[in-house]
Amino acid sequence: MLKELKIKNFVLVDEMVISFNNGLTVLTGETGAGKSVVVGALQLVLGDQTRGDVFFDSNNKVELEACFEVDIGLFQDLLDKYEIEVLNPDTTNPLITAVDSEGRYCELFFQREIKPDGRSNIFINGRKSTNSIVKEFRNLLLDFHSQRDQQSLFDEETQLLYLDKYSDLIDLREDFAVTLNKWQETERSLTKYRNDIKENEDRIRLYQYQIEELENANLQVNEEELLDSEFNLLINAKEVLELYQEMRSDLFESDRTVFDIVAYYKNRLSNFSENNKIIQDTIENLTTCLTALEDISSSMRYVEEEITIDDERLAEVESRIKLIFDLKTKYRKDIPQMLAYLDEMKSFIAGFEKNISHEEELKKEILILKQMAYDLASSLSDKRIEKSKCYENAIMEYLRQLLINDAEFKIIIDKNHTSNNHGTLDVNAYNHTGFDRV
């Protein structure tokens, strides 16, 4: 019910507060007394557009406020939808509504400001809102009866709401709405997954080809450096081996080898080693040279075993180097970057492979929710049909008390769908109240 209406700087009113009590309130007065000003203020604060000059003083803004006491259950969906808070009554903020001790009734507080330049702000419980949102609340709050306004009684949703309140079906309606919302969300999740798969089909095919290509290449970190060294050695193997052969000949195998020359001078100088420190140092250095030459002789055998002229291996290394070069050019990445890219592609595809099982889970959940929605909607429909006869009789009794003896009142319940097989009903066959039209 409307509890209080505040009007400031509006048309003929400088400032006024009207409080309403339980029961019927009638405002009377002759033409021009201001009755329409009160109604106009109420319509504006509940989302109507401004028409004409609405200012008592054009230099100041219009301020309109309306406070309603409402059943929380009827407005819970809208309160949740637009995140409008209903807090405890111990607050000192006059813009915040209070909840009664039983937690069933609360206050809704609407404000409208119209500035001299025509700009307007509208609020619900202190939260800035829009005219369209406020009108959603208005449809449940008030019913304006005039030559130009439609009555909410002609609205099928309102008729259905009255029947469900009479039949004590509000909780069942809410259970159905929750189930339907979950079904719709699950359908959206499944649709999104399928769209993602479709949008990424080309990408997945490309990744699968690139994964196969890079896995077949079997790239290794630091492989390029090793291949370059081996290639340089293989391609110069003949020259290297020839150099070693010349060196062996000069150092150890000719008529007068370097080894023999060093050994000769060492032996000759040994006869004078006690005479001079310099001679002793020379002999020591010559001994070191001989030891080094012996080491060189040993290493020569290993080098000749390691270094071979292998045209087949050279072709393999050259082919491998070319493959790596081509891959680096194609992917514009070095080997570590290509290996990281390979892991990224595998992870991407693995994510979709995991989602395939998720898709099956979504399908199963949809089937469960589909059955639940049908069962709840059917229960609602059955109870509505059952209670509608009682409601018809009750209305007829009131009409007879009003001495409207020839009046008839009927409640007709139709289905939104035509199928008798609930298995064929999809989510679009329902609305937030089930599948009935009343």
SS3 per residue for 219-281:
CCCCHHHHHHHHHHHHHCHHHHHHHHHHHHHHHHHCCCCHHHHHHHHHHHHHCCCCCCHHHHH
8 in Cβ contact with 64 (< 8 Å): yes
Q: Region 227-249: what's the mean pLDDT?
A: 72
Digit-coded pLDDT (tens) for 327-356: 989 989 999 999 999 999 998 888 776 666
* CA pair distance 50, 37, nearest whole angstrom: 13
pLDDT in tens, 132-142: 888 888 888 88
**255 and 288 fall within a common domain:** yes
Predicted confidence at residue 95, as pLDDT, reads 41
Q: Residue 211 in contact with residue 346, Cβ under 8 Å?
A: yes
Residue 164 lies in a domain: no
Residues 413 and 312 in one domain: no
The helix (H) or strand (E) run that includes residue 317 is: helix 311-331
- Residue 143's pLDDT is what? 74
Q: Are both 241 and 184 inside the same structural domain?
A: no
Q: Give the distance, in angstroms, between the CA of residue 13 and the centroid of all CA atoms in the same chain.
A: 51
Does residue 108 share a domain with residue 232? no
pLDDT of residue 135: 87
Q: Is the pLDDT of residue 304 over 70?
A: no
Q: Tell whether 112 and 14 lie within a shared domain.
A: yes
Q: What is the mean pLDDT of residues 298-304?
A: 67
Instruction: Count CB neighbours of 290 within 10 A.
Output: 14
What's the whole-number mean pLDDT along residues 16-45? 85
Strand pairing class (2-10; 127-128): unpaired
The per-residue pLDDT for 149 is 52
Would 205 be classed as within a structural domain? no
Q: Which three-class secondary structure state does DSSP give residue 426?
A: coil
Distance from C-alpha of 292 to C-alpha of 73, rounded to nearest angstrom = 101
Higher-confidence position of 180 and 274: 180
Say if residue 194 is in the same domain as residue 222: no
Closest Cα to residue 320, out of 200, 414, 432, 226? 226
Nearest alpha-carbon partner for 190 in 373, 368, 351, 364: 364
**Span 366-419, pLDDT tens digits:** 999 999 999 999 999 999 999 999 999 999 999 999 898 888 999 999 887 655
Percent of the chain scored above 70 by pLDDT?
Answer: 86
Residues 35 and 142 in one domain: yes
pLDDT digits (tens, 9 = 90+) for 173-202: 999 999 999 999 999 988 888 887 777 777
Domain co-membership, 226 together with 283? yes
CATH number for the domain spanning 44: value is: 3.40.50.300
pLDDT at residue 100 greater than cutoff 60: no
Task: Please give the single-letter amino acid code of residue 264.
Answer: Y
Of 128, 111, 141, 118, nearest to 53 by C-alpha is: 118
Report the C-alpha gap between 190 and 186 in whole angstroms.
6
User: What are residue 4's DSSP bridge partners?
Assistant: 19, 67
**C-beta atoms surrounding 234 within 10 Å:** 21
Range among 16-30, 164-178, 215-229 with highest mean pLDDT value: 164-178
Q: What does the mean pLDDT of the chain come to?
A: 82
Residues 6 or more apart from 47 whose CB is under 8 A from it?
Answer: 122, 131, 132, 134, 135, 138
N-to-C CA span, the chain? 26
Report residue 166 as tokens.
Answer: 């009479």
Total count of domains within the chain: 3
- Domain region containing 270: 216-337
Same domain, residue pair 333 and 346: no
Task: Kindly state whether residue 158 falls inside one of the protein's structural domains.
Answer: no
